[in-house]
Structure 1
């Protein structure tokens, strides 16, 4: 019996690898002969770089940079020599700021730009930037500034990009070095929101980053104004780009300035780790995530795994922290930690033990072949 365990993380509780290890312990209590492979997965959001680092053996690089408020710090990116993997949250993440420091009007992605610059200077031919958990709304202009772009007001004064500066920018100067202005950038994200409008970056995400009602409207206006400057000077319309609102408009801004490509997270990670081949070689596939709900059907790990299992005619079992869905197409059975735990605190704090119990239950449910 070949079993592939390929979960996403249980956010706030266990990493994807820890989920897989707990299920493996339970399965081996009953089926010690089973050939079990653990493949951690992610959808392009939080935890994606950890999955790729472990699977691809990427080299970690530590760099002196700045946080969102231009305070000195060190942050890391990963590389295989030709491609650099950068996580926006490493230098521009919301979790790096205290509650009273969160203000997208003041925050900038400049520090992330310095990570990208370091990678390009070290010889990287491609940047894969993972967009998740940002504290910023500067359309990625801070990143561009670190690469030599200059943002000018009507008076000709150079402006340091942040959320508040968007409404002031009237002209953008390209960097002189081709390796910066022609940088090949892929933007890895798992959202489809546009830059502007009711479902856009400012109105949906800025309040989560500390913006009040007035700031939200200023960010919306500034985003609209700056997108007009981009279209006029670079010939690219960014307002209707699918996913352009990701991470405070970074996807829209970097598409406009660099022609950056917006890439869905799960298909990329699935390809990089060879997931289809692993599923094809398995007799049983077990996947899961912390919470199974309607969003799980929209480009998340479990929906991607389910599609592959259906195509390859493989049995799929889901193990989750909590489920709001009683059924999931292509799935044989759904196990939930919350059905065993006393309450949410118990479920989060003792998930490993419950997953081990679930793994044992899965193993008992697997029919034995006559040769076993």
Structure 2
């Protein structure tokens, strides 16, 4: 039997590669004669560069950058020919902050601007930016500042970092230094920048925003969208699909002439997942939390849809499952399994994720292997 194992990361516990290896090891305990094909995946969020580097090779260049609070961290860019791949979560990621440090009023995307500048200096003519898992809500203002085009107030003074102050933005300090590089935003969401389904309302609370913060941030981003639209000649920026990705970084990339693509579609295309699906007898995918957002373009739903189109069974293994089986089945999921259910507690699911995936993999082999 040929089993395709293609999970996303299990946030806070395992990378996509580690999750795939754990599932495969468990499968081979029960069915050592079967062939397992491992294709770790990402949708633009954490793990985007690692997954592509594993599949494509290329050069990984370390870059000194900063986290959402301006503290030094190390990121990297992946160069494959003249295309550079960067990951916003390496500098803007929610995982870089403790729970008490999360505050989208002040967190900044400045570090992503440093990664973009490094990609330009490395000679890239196209930069693909993976968006997801961010701690920021500044519509890319910090990123633009790192590129020499930060927001300024009516007096021409640079604004502090964060999303809350953007209501005072009057213009940009200059033009971003990108040397005509083509920009691509790879994202797992299609939310607009503002409104009920915008960056602040949907993702602000998980980044530490109160209800009052959400209202203030949404108004500030709506104002800043007008500033960006005027500066770059892009009307309607506040409502463009994908503009709300990564706290509004998507909108800034759109203003710079970039295009938004599906992160999971980009990754699956680059690593040749379609051909692997054609050759598989069973597909196993998964992620940390399988919930209603998973059905809107994330890894597990994208894989399940491809399996459904080929009449293949698709098993989803997640840290926890928070969506109904009927909705999952409609997306192409044959079975759902969770580590929380397997262990009986979220604490053990987090602490023993690799072991749990191995045990579930062994159980699935006993059930499915010929």
TM-score class normalised by the smaller sequence: 0.7 to 0.9
Superimposed CA distance per residue, residues 264-302 of structure 1 (whole angstroms, 9 cap, x where no aligned partner): 211111111110001112222222233333333221222
The answer to whether the 8 Å contact 1:145/1:161 transfers is no
Distance 1:163 1:24, change over 3 A: closer
Q: How does 1:1-372 map to 2 (within 5 A)?
A: 1-159=1-159, 162-172=162-172, 174-175=174-175, 179=179, 182-236=180-234, 237-256=236-255, 258-323=256-321, 324-327=323-326, 328-329=329-330, 330-366=332-368, 368=370
Cα distance, 1:190 vs. partner?
1.5
Higher deviation after alignment, 268-277 or 358-367:
358-367
Superimposed CA distance per residue, residues 298-332 of structure 1 (whole angstroms, 9 cap, x where no aligned partner): 21222211221222233333333343433524444
Distance 1:3 1:140, change over 3 A: same
Partner-residue secondary structure (3-state), 2:204: helix
Cα distance, 1:82 vs. partner?
1.5
Distance 1:356 1:105, change over 3 A: closer
Cα distance, 1:177 vs. partner?
5.3
Distance 1:107 1:177, change over 3 A: closer
The answer to whether the 8 Å contact 1:81/1:123 transfers is no
The answer to whether the 8 Å contact 1:151/1:161 transfers is no
The answer to whether the 8 Å contact 1:104/1:136 transfers is yes
The answer to whether the 8 Å contact 1:152/1:170 transfers is yes
Higher deviation after alignment, 105-114 or 331-340:
331-340
Partner-residue secondary structure (3-state), 2:181: coil
Superimposed CA distance per residue, residues 28-54 of structure 1 (whole angstroms, 9 cap, x where no aligned partner): 233322121111112222222221122
The answer to whether the 8 Å contact 2:9/2:42 transfers is yes
Partner-residue secondary structure (3-state), 2:238: coil
Distance 1:47 1:25, change over 3 A: same
Distance 1:169 1:353, change over 3 A: closer
Distance 1:238 1:345, change over 3 A: same
Cα distance, 1:212 vs. partner?
4.3
Higher deviation after alignment, 303-312 or 200-209:
200-209
The answer to whether the 8 Å contact 2:124/2:181 transfers is no
Cα distance, 1:156 vs. partner?
3.3
Give the number of aligned pairs: 365
Q: Normalization by structure 1: what TM-score?
A: 0.87
Provide the aligned C-alpha RMSD in A: 2.6
The answer to whether the 8 Å contact 1:315/1:332 transfers is yes
Cα distance, 1:174 vs. partner?
4.1
Partner-residue secondary structure (3-state), 1:11: coil
Kindly name which structure, 1 or 2, has the bigger radius of gyration based on alpha carbons. Answer: 1
Distance 1:365 1:74, change over 3 A: closer
Higher deviation after alignment, 307-316 or 236-245:
307-316
Partner-residue secondary structure (3-state), 1:290: strand
